[in-house]
Structure 1
Amino acid sequence: MLRHAGVAAVLAAAGLLFATSALTSGGTDLRSEAADLGSLVAQRSQENSERATRVSALRSEVDALSRDAQQPLGGDAGEDPLADPGLGTASGALAVTGPGLTVTLDDAPTEEPRPAGATPDDLVVHQQDVEAVVNALWAGGAEAMVIMDQRIVATSAVRCVGNVLVLQGRTYSPPYRISAIGDVDRLHAALDDSAEVSIYQQYVAAYGLGYQVSDVDDLQVPAFDGTTRATYARVPATGGGR
């Protein structure tokens, strides 16, 4: 009976956690569109920041209730699957420390003369530029990754709205920092081999965009503090028709 009560408490707390988490979708590609959504983005970012503390507290409560619910009546607590370092790292549930590198992308300096033929879109970092670096680092065997101050997991999505980056409900302005833990030589090689990163480097050479790669001996990557719930996914209807 106590075990059933514990499971019910976990579900109730988890439901509240999901209800207070926000996910922003439908961003725009800055190289093709510069939407003037600054006020809306700032408002949503403030709301998400205010909820972050509540989400963190609820997550701790859910974790504690989950451990209680897994404990057999009159017996020892069940094994925590996230105690496996491999699973905990892959899921983002555990903070990770180790060698790696940080890639910094930045807009072209505004105080310098604009290169001949350059348009405003040529002088700023765009969604696909951040995605190019992220994809290259994963391809290079990155074990854990963070963009700015947020852990990247399977459900993370990079979006650009206007001239800001939107990541898991929070907004950021350049310079953008992408850090990854892994074999440093492999990570460098993956960046060098990426066709998409090579295109960005052409803009670096032509228009003065920022691109810097720095090795880090003891990189600190925090645990993921958001929700992995698929907010917009739907199970397809079965049966005939479309």
Structure 2
Amino acid sequence: MSNSADSPTPAPRRPSFRPMRLLTLAIFALAGLIFWMSFNTAKGTDLRSDESMLRLSDLIQERSRKNADLEESTGRVRSEVDGLARRDDGSTKEEDARLAALEKAAGTRPVRGAALTVTLSDAPADATARIPGVPEPQPNDLVIHQQDLQAVVNALWQGGARGIRVMDQRLISTSAVRCVGNTLILQGRLYSPPYKVTAVGDPDALRRALAESPAIQNYQGYVEAYGLGWDVDQHDTMTLPGYSGTVDLHQAQPVK
């Protein structure tokens, strides 16, 4: 019979692993990091103050102005390069004609002819329903949205437009009409309503395309109900300058 004093002493038990305790510690650590980053960013200022928002708005507007200046500079340089290239590039007349046609289709050359200008504008801030039985407007019902501008541009292309300008910029195949709130962002520049879209082409065909667009018919319902702005002006002759910004194309490639 063995003596109890000779029996091995059991090893002390390790504390059981508790994932929830580790997760709790990680959350507190992350919260502390966020508070520190917020304090370091604010530097004692109110991040929600009107002054902070104004500074952000000023920065955005300044960037837009710089983009406009860079676009103008790029256009001048491109004109000089094109002029030098056409002096003696060894191309045939057929090749020159083909290049001119491609430039025209790409929107980098001016286009002239009869035109329509469509103007879209927000409704008055205090607008009320103009039609009996129509519900009172919500804030989103009173402003121009991205789909409204896109509908106009798409309808004008459908109507055979030979060139389109939104505000003061010519559209090309890679142009994208994007809105944040009621602010238009087009090719790196910012615009506020009213928005003007001008198309060179057959005025009658352009008007028909606008009238037949389901998206624009829906917009017209808001024009009648809440007073959103819609004006169409015809021009006997108008010249749209060529696009002067960068035309670099980037393609996505599959990952191997």
**What does residue 13 of structure 1 align with?**
none
When normalised by structure 2's length, the TM-score is 0.69
**Aligned partners of 1:100 and 1:217 also within 8 Å:** yes
The Cα of 1:187 is off from its aligned counterpart by 0.8
Aligned twin of 2:43: none
Query: What is the CA–CA distance in structure 2 between the aligned matches of 1:214 and 1:162, rounded to whole Å?
Result: 26
Cα drift, residue 210 of structure 1:
0.3
Amino acid at match of 1:235: Q
Name the aligned partner's letter for residue 227 of structure 2.
G
**CA–CA distance in structure 1, aligned partners of residues 244 and 220 of structure 2:** 33
User: Conserved in 2, the CA contact under 8 Å of 1:100 and 1:180?
Assistant: yes
* 1:91 matched residue in structure 2: 106
Alignment partners' CA distance in 2, 1:113 and 1:103 = 22
Matched AA of 2:151? A
Pick from 109, 123, 126 the counterpart of residue 124 of structure 2. 109
Unmatched tracts of structure 2, length 5 or more: 1-53, 130-134
Whether 2:99 is the aligned partner of 1:80: answer: no
Question: Aligned to 1:70, what secondary structure does the other structure show?
Answer: coil
Given that residues 72 and 244 in structure 2 are in contact (C-alpha distance below 8 angstroms), is that contact kept between their aligned partners in structure 1? no
1:43 shift after superposition? 3.4
2:252 counterpart residue number = 234
> Aligned ranges for residues 203-214 of structure 1 at < 5 Å?
203-214=222-233
Gaps of 5+ in 1: 1-35
Q: Which moved more, 1:50-59 or 1:96-105?
A: 50-59
Q: Is it true that 1:142 corresponds to 2:161 in the alignment?
A: yes
The count of residues paired between Structure 1 and Structure 2 equals 198
Shift, 1:184, TM fit? 1.2
Per-residue deviation, residues 112-139 of structure 1 (Å, max 9, x unmatched): 4443521111101011000000000111
Q: Per-residue deviation at 1:190?
A: 0.6
Q: Report SS of the residue matched to 1:80.
A: helix
1:157 corresponds, among 176, 193, 215, to 176
The alpha-carbon distance between structure 1 residues 188 and 69, as it changes in their structure 2 partners (threshold 3 A), is same
On the 8 A contact 2:115/2:235 being kept in 1, the answer is yes
More helix, by proportion: 2
- Decide whether the 8 Å contact of 1:101 with 1:181 is kept in 2: yes
2:216 matches 1:200: no
Point out the structure with max Rg over C-alpha. 2
Q: CA RMSD in A?
A: 2.6
Secondary structure of the corresponding residue to residue 233 of structure 2: strand
The 3 A distance-change label for structure 1 pair 214 and 45 is same
Report percent identity of matched pairs: 46
Equivalent residue letter for 1:105: L
Match for 2:96: what amino acid?
Answer: D
Provide the rounded CA distance (Å) in 1 between the counterparts of 2:177 and 2:216: 16
**SS of the residue 2:237 aligns to:** strand
- Name the CA shift for 1:186/1:223 in 2 (closer, same or farther; >3 Å): same
> Is the Cα–Cα contact under 8 Å of residues 71 and 77 in structure 1 kept in the other structure?
no
